[in-house]
């Protein structure tokens, strides 16, 4: 971990000359960044009085504002508290080709909590792991993360506060919380040191910069940004992905899929008799979840023409239209392609007590993207762990995750494809891509098997639904959804 440089000062004329050079370099690098397939995150943290705001104002004056976004995260709002901790940071990530400057970040809340805690309080291991995973996930995706700690000793901080307090225009910056942090400066510095050490990595290292002189501080921050960005732009990008013939990673998943009995049927009379019962019970339990402040995420995956749309319509008939959203997932838009693949799913997580229904989901990464060459082998290989961690963050926050794979036979799919082609109001459901995917049936079976084996967890298990008979499948989904929510609520 890079250390703060010894305290020194620089004359105004020398500062302005060096600043002019750095400014020119930064703008030129910004031009290159616009077309680069990665984003840059500049995270500024440090002792109170270190000048984060001043650094941001300086950089904002030097950089082209059209390629920069600034983020400041304060106390979480009620809306933010109702979602997993990382939700608001995912939403704030800049797109590829842009620079995001974070005055507050995923470290802010932890540092604030340490400042308010009792002496001897340790940095929570779970919080550290969450941050480490998040940053690794981003850097694996190509993101350049530059983390800077603006350091002030206790004496330097006292002098800075006295200087600010003496000026009526800046006295407001010395808040009661800032005074408290000065009082416990040494304890906070030790805790922050442990936090930096625990979250320091080769891909996202910390650099400690002396903040006692504002001119030197500004030059050091800008120079580091130039060095890191130059090095990242020189790094060769990975080769374009290609479609592959999959080999099974975990044969047990494919065996489970192939063992599913597809001859299950329910008569029309039996379906009508049981449907209302399960719709009523599902309505009741979703109301109970809402009262308890528990949100629900339904994930629907399955073969083309397996009946996902029909099953979702039956499920939503048990819900109040104000309490749920159906999220249809198609090919990513240009905006979505400019972000990590999980970004568009984080955005749609429901508030406490509400329901989000994903018609296809993040599992596209290890299904269609894997098979069609839309991502590299390294990207889809690590996606299993990334998805498991994503879902763990949801369930640990209290979100109830219910995942369905709707399975039909190859013959049944062919029958439904032909029916769609011959039925006027169903023709829009079938296209050339559906037929092309069908020709890769065996490859998709292997990928589905791996998905089932490698993303099956106790908190978010897969529910396999035999769907050759639509009535049977719809009834199973109503029953499974109801029981899963009841179990999560302890009913």
Question: 348 and 327 in contact (C-beta within 8 Å)?
Answer: yes
User: Which pLDDT band holds residue 474 (cuts at 50, 70, 90)?
Assistant: very high
Least confident among 72-81, 419-428, 470-479? 419-428
- Would you state the structure tokens that stand for residue 296, as one six-digit string? 């629900």
- Would you state the structure tokens that stand for residue 84, as one six-digit string? 């997993």
Q: In the block, which residue shows the tokens 């600043």?
A: 19
**How long is the chain?**
491
- Backbone torsion region of residue 196, taken as left when φ is above 0, otherwise alpha when ψ lies between -120 and 50, otherwise beta: alpha
Q: pLDDT tens-digit profile of 135-150?
A: 999 999 999 999 999 9
Taking Cα atoms as reference points, which of 384, 352, 349, 353 lies closest to residue 366? Answer: 384
Question: 209 and 221 in contact (C-beta within 8 Å)?
Answer: yes
Cα 195 to Cα 107: distance, rounded to the nearest angstrom: 9
Question: 123 and 191 in contact (C-beta within 8 Å)?
Answer: yes
Q: pLDDT tens-digit profile of 185-244?
A: 888 888 889 899 999 999 999 999 999 999 999 999 999 999 999 999 999 887 777 776
Q: How many of the other CB atoms lie within 10 Å of CB of 409? A: 15
By three-state DSSP, how is residue 356 classified?
strand
Cα 257 to Cα 93: distance, rounded to the nearest angstrom: 37
Cα 231 to Cα 337: distance, rounded to the nearest angstrom: 24
Q: Which helix (H) or strand (E) holds 18?
A: helix 12-33
Cα 70 to Cα 42: distance, rounded to the nearest angstrom: 9
Task: For residue 407, give Cα distances in angstroms to 198, 208, 256, 260, 468.
Answer: 44, 54, 12, 8, 7
Q: pLDDT tens-digit profile of 365-408?
A: 999 999 999 999 999 999 999 999 999 999 999 999 999 999 99
- Would you state the structure tokens that stand for residue 54, as one six-digit string? 């001043």
């Amino acid at each position: 971990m890079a250390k703060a440089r010894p305290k020194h000062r620089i004359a105004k004329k020398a500062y302005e000359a060096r600043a002019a050079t750095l400014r020119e370099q930064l703008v030129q690098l910004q031009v290159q960044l616009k077309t680069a397939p990665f984003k840059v995150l500049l995270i500024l943290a440090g002792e109170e009085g270190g000048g984060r705001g001043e650094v941001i104002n300086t950089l904002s004056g030097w950089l082209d504002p059209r390629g920069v976004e600034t983020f400041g995260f304060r106390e979480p709002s009620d809306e933010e508290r109702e979602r997993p901790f990382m939700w608001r940071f995912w939403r704030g990530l800049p797109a590829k080709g842009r620079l995001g400057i974070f005055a507050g970040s995923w470290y802010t809340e932890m540092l604030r909590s340490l400042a308010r805690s009792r002496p001897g309080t340790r940095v929570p291991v779970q919080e550290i792991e969450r941050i480490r995973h998040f940053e690794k996930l981003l850097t694996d995706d190509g993101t350049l993360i530059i983390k800077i700690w603006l350091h002030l000793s206790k004496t330097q901080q006292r002098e800075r506060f006295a200087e600010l307090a003496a000026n009526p225009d800046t006295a407001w910056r010395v808040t009661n919380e800032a005074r408290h942090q000065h009082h416990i400066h040494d304890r906070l510095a030790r805790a922050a040191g442990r936090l930096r050490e625990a979250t320091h990595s080769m891909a996202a290292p910390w650099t400690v910069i002396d903040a006692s002189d504002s001119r030197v501080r500004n030059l050091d921050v800008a120079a580091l940004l130039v060095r890191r960005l130059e090095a990242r732009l020189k790094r060769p990008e990975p080769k374009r992905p290609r479609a592959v013939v999959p080999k099974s990673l975990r044969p047990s998943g494919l065996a489970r899929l192939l063992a599913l009995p597809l001859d299950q049927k329910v008569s029309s009379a039996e379906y009508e008799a049981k449907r209302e019962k399960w719709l009523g019970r599902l309505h009741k339990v979703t109301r109970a979840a809402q009262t308890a402040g528990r949100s629900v995420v339904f994930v629907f995956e399955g073969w083309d023409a397996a009946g996902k749309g029909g099953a979702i319509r039956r499920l939503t008939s048990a819900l109040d239209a104000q309490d749920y959203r159906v999220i249809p997932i198609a090919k990513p838009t240009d905006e979505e392609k400019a972000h990590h693949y999980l970004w568009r799913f984080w955005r749609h997580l429901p508030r406490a007590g509400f329901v989000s229904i994903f018609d296809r989901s993040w599992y596209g990464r290890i299904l269609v993207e894997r098979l069609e060459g839309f991502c590299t082998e390294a990207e889809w290989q690590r996606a299993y762990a990334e998805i498991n961690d994503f879902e763990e963050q949801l369930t640990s926050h209290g979100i109830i995750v219910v995942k369905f794979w709707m399975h039909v036979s190859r013959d049944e799919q062919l029958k439904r494809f032909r029916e769609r082609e011959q039925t006027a109001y169903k023709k829009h459901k079938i296209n050339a891509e559906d037929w092309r995917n069908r020709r890769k049936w065996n490859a998709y079976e292997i990928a589905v098997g791996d998905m089932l084996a490698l993303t099956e967890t106790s908190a978010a298990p897969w529910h396999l639904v035999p769907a050759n008979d639509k009535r049977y499948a719809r009834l199973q989904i109503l029953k499974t959804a109801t029981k899963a929510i009841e179990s999560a609520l302890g009913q």
